[in-house]
């Protein structure tokens, strides 16, 4: 029986147990037999019963039971144990309060947290590290960072856990610069710098995309000789990637003495995000040669690289690997596999994977709907969207709507497109989603030469994201398609003026089992001169 199933057990105050008491006493005669990590459904129920029968269970036994409920993701159960403990006159100790505070935090009960705070003071546990941290966390998360920070400033003792909690709370409120400032304060005050606080600080630098702060955190890590700690080095690696410094990231990765599957996954992901799919695939192969076994996460991160090169052979190979190793049941892997097939031109394979899936989430549906639209099967995509809407377990989000709109554009279903577009106007839709949707609508405008609508859409696009170079590329294409060359040229000048750079465009060809990649204006290929000459000849022939 698995541990989690005990979350469905009867509530503590009314245990419904039909096992004879003598057996209970044999198995749990002494309260120290209560072990949170190994306890299962029946045993937990038994424990309740036994604690009811013991004249006065010791605090250790109550603590264990509270712990068990918490680790079984049942904070409500933990709280009712605590309540019962109080009713029976048991005295909580310094290990009881942190756990009960955690339970009330998960339940979102700040009022109870305040009561427990009072109790901590009354019982003299206020200078306990664990109590302080738990209090900072419940105040910080339920009443805002300032409340947590106040407590932190007032608290008689501070260890690195409490400091880290403050950093974490700032990050939760999306204030990474304040988190980094706290980290610098720590360093200045000679507080103990450990791996966890370094990981948290590195995360803050990544969120800020600040190379400057990143260097300083890196320096501190080196000073405390924690740079080679695998968790620290992985977070430093991630920081370089998040700061969009792939060269630095690669250099750091290369000199890492130990690399685990997470290190490899991070760097592969970094290259995928940057569009360097061949480098991502190379590294995936290298990882295997280094004897690191791919896991569902690394598989899911390399599959997009296969999807976006003609190397769908690699994709099939990786699909085969996941089948042989029994990780094809992972939902994320299945979604990534479907997307790989759909984007490699094998939408039928994608559909096969889709139909075999036991569980489907909104991403599964979106991938499939988008897959159909990419293959000019917009009608089927819209059908799938309707099919999805019948499934109560999934709800369309911004990406699903973008996909279905794309279907409408490829199927020339302008009216339906408008209909879905109107469905999107819910409060939880972000600007980003709107961007994509508008972009999709725009494709429709091109097809129908509905120039006025197109112009309106552009105006909205620029309002939303005036600095996004991609929008200018779209508009430039729009002008060119409408043979407004002078406007297109003028726009190009504007783009240069804003200083925003469009993403580099890539193309590729598979030749003799090797994938050759070409970027715009790329002259890195050893035979690039010959390639361009040949290209010019071809262009001439095309024009004739």
Partner DNA sequence: CTAGGGTTAG
Report 391-450 residues binding DNA (CB under 7 A). Answer: 397, 399-400
The whole-angstrom separation of Cα 116 and Cα 101 is 7
Q: Which DSSP category does 92 fall into?
A: P
Nearest distance from residue 234's CB to DNA, in Å? Answer: 4
Nearer to DNA, 268 or 438 (CB): 268
Beta-bridged to residue 508, according to DSSP, are 517
**Part of the chain binding DNA (CB under 7 A), chosen from 20-28, 256-264, 418-426, 534-542:** 256-264
Q: Using CB under 7 A, which of 113, 304, 378, 417 touches DNA?
A: 304
Nearest distance from residue 109's CB to DNA, in Å? Answer: 16
Q: Using CB under 7 A, which of 261, 292, 488, 531 touches DNA?
A: 261
The whole-angstrom separation of Cα 254 and Cα 52 is 59
For 260-311, the DSSP string reads -HHHHHHHHHHHHHHT-HHHHHHHHHHHHHTTPPP-HHHHHHHHHHHHTSS-
Q: Does 272 bind DNA (CB under 7 A)?
A: yes
Nearest distance from residue 34's CB to DNA, in Å? Answer: 8
130: Cβ contacts below 8 Å, ≥ 6 apart: 94, 95, 97, 98
Q: Does 230 bind DNA (CB under 7 A)?
A: yes
The whole-angstrom separation of Cα 119 and Cα 141 is 20
Nearer to DNA, 153 or 486 (CB): 153
Q: Interaction with DNA in 356-395: which residues (CB under 7 A)? A: 361-364, 366-367, 370
Nearest distance from residue 75's CB to DNA, in Å? Answer: 12
Q: Interaction with DNA in 122-181: which residues (CB under 7 A)? A: 129-130, 132-134, 137, 159-165, 168
Q: Interaction with DNA in 336-355: which residues (CB under 7 A)? A: 336, 339
Nearest distance from residue 400's CB to DNA, in Å? Answer: 5
Q: Does 331 bind DNA (CB under 7 A)?
A: yes
Nearer to DNA, 217 or 491 (CB): 217
**Part of the chain binding DNA (CB under 7 A), chosen from 8-16, 327-335, 346-354, 423-431:** 327-335
Q: Does 98 bind DNA (CB under 7 A)?
A: yes
Query: Could you tell me the sign of the dihedral formed by the alpha carbons of 519, 524, 526, 527, in that order?
Result: positive
Nearer to DNA, 157 or 352 (CB): 157
Q: Using CB under 7 A, which of 109, 227, 266, 276 touches DNA?
A: 266
Q: Using CB under 7 A, which of 104, 300, 344, 471 touches DNA?
A: 300
148: Cβ contacts below 8 Å, ≥ 6 apart: 136, 137, 139, 140, 141, 165, 166, 169
- Residue 521 burial (CB < 10 Å; 0-12/13-18/19+)? exposed
Decide: 416 and 382 in contact? Cβ < 8 Å.
Answer: yes
The whole-angstrom separation of Cα 247 and Cα 227 is 18
Nearest distance from residue 397's CB to DNA, in Å? Answer: 5
Q: Which residue has the tokens 């968790």?
A: 231
The whole-angstrom separation of Cα 458 and Cα 476 is 11
Q: Does 67 bind DNA (CB under 7 A)?
A: yes
For 506-541, the DSSP string reads EEEEEETTEEEEEETT---STTHHHHHHHHHHHHHH
Q: Does 94 bind DNA (CB under 7 A)?
A: yes
Nearest distance from residue 354's CB to DNA, in Å? Answer: 13
Q: Does 195 bind DNA (CB under 7 A)?
A: yes
Which of 197, 131, 135 is closest to 160 using CA atoms? 197
Nearer to DNA, 451 or 503 (CB): 503
The whole-angstrom separation of Cα 415 and Cα 407 is 12
Nearer to DNA, 128 or 413 (CB): 128
By CB under 7 A, the count of residues binding DNA is 71
Q: Using CB under 7 A, which of 54, 73, 209, 295 touches DNA?
A: 295
Q: Interaction with DNA in 13-42: which residues (CB under 7 A)? A: 35-36
Nearer to DNA, 208 or 232 (CB): 232
- How far is CA 531 from each of CA 469, 507, 520, 535, rounded to the nearest angstrom? 29, 13, 13, 6
Nearer to DNA, 132 or 491 (CB): 132
């Amino acid at each position: 029986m698995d541990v989690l199933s005990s979350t469905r057990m009867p509530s503590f105050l009314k245990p419904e147990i039909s096992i004879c008491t003598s057996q209970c006493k044999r198995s749990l005669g002494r309260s120290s037999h209560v072990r949170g990590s190994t306890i299962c459904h029946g045993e937990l129920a038994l424990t309740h019963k036994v604690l009811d029968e013991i004249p006065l269970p010791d605090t250790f036994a109550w603590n264990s039971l509270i712990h068990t409920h918490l680790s079984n993701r049942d904070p409500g159960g933990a709280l009712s144990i605590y309540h019962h403990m109080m009713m029976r006159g048991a005295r909580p100790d310094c290990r009881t309060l942190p756990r009960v505070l955690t339970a009330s935090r998960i339940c979102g009960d700040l009022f109870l947290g305040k009561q427990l705070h009072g109790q901590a003071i009354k019982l003299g546990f206020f200078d306990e590290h664990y109590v302080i941290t738990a209090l900072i966390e419940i105040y910080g998360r339920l009443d805002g960072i300032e409340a947590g920070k106040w407590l932190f400033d007032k608290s008689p003792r501070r260890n690195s856990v409490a400091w880290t909690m403050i950093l974490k709370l700032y990050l939760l409120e999306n204030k990474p610069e304040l988190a980094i400032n706290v980290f610098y304060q720590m360093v200045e005050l000679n507080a103990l710098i450990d791996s966890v606080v370094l990981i948290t600080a590195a995360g803050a630098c990544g969120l800020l995309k600040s190379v400057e702060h990143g260097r300083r955190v890196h320096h501190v890590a080196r000073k405390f000789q924690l740079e080679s700690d695998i968790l620290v080095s992985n977070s430093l690696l991630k920081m370089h990637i998040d700061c969009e410094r792939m060269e630095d990231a690669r250099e750091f990765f290369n000199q890492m003495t130990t690399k685990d599957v997470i290190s490899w996954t991070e760097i592969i992901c970094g290259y995928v995000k940057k569009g360097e799919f061949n480098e991502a695939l190379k590294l995936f192969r290298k990882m295997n040669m280094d004897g690191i076994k791919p896991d569902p996460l690394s598989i899911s991160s390399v599959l997009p690289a296969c999807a976006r090169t003609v190397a769908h052979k690699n994709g099939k190979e990786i699909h085969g690997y996941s089948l042989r190793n029994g990780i094809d049941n992972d939902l994320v892997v299945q979604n990534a596999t479907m997307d790989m097939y759909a984007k490699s031109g094998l939408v039928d394979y994608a559909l096969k994977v889709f139909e075999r899936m036991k569980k489907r989430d909104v991403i599964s549906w979106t991938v499939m709907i988008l897959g159909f639209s990419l293959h000019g099967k917009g009608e089927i995509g819209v059908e799938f969207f309707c099919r999805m809407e019948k499934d109560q377990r999934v709800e369309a989000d911004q990406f699903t709507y973008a996909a279905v709109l794309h279907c409408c554009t490829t199927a020339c279903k302008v009216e339906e497109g408008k209909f879905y577009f109107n469905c999107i106007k819910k409060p939880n839709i972000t600007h980003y989603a709107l961007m994509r949707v508008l972009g999709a609508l725009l494709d429709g405008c091109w097809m129908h030469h509905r120039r006025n609508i197109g112009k309106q859409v552009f105006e909205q696009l620029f309002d939303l994201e005036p600095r996004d170079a991609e929008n200018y590329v779209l508009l430039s294409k729009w002008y060119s398609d409408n043979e407004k060359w002078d406007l297109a040229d003028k726009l190009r000048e504007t783009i240069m003026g804003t200083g925003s750079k469009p993403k580099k465009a890539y193309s590729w060809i598979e030749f003799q089992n090797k994938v050759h990649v070409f970027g715009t204006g790329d002259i890195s290929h050893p035979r690039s001169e010959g390639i361009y000459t040949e290209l010019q000849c071809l262009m001439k022939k095309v024009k004739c």
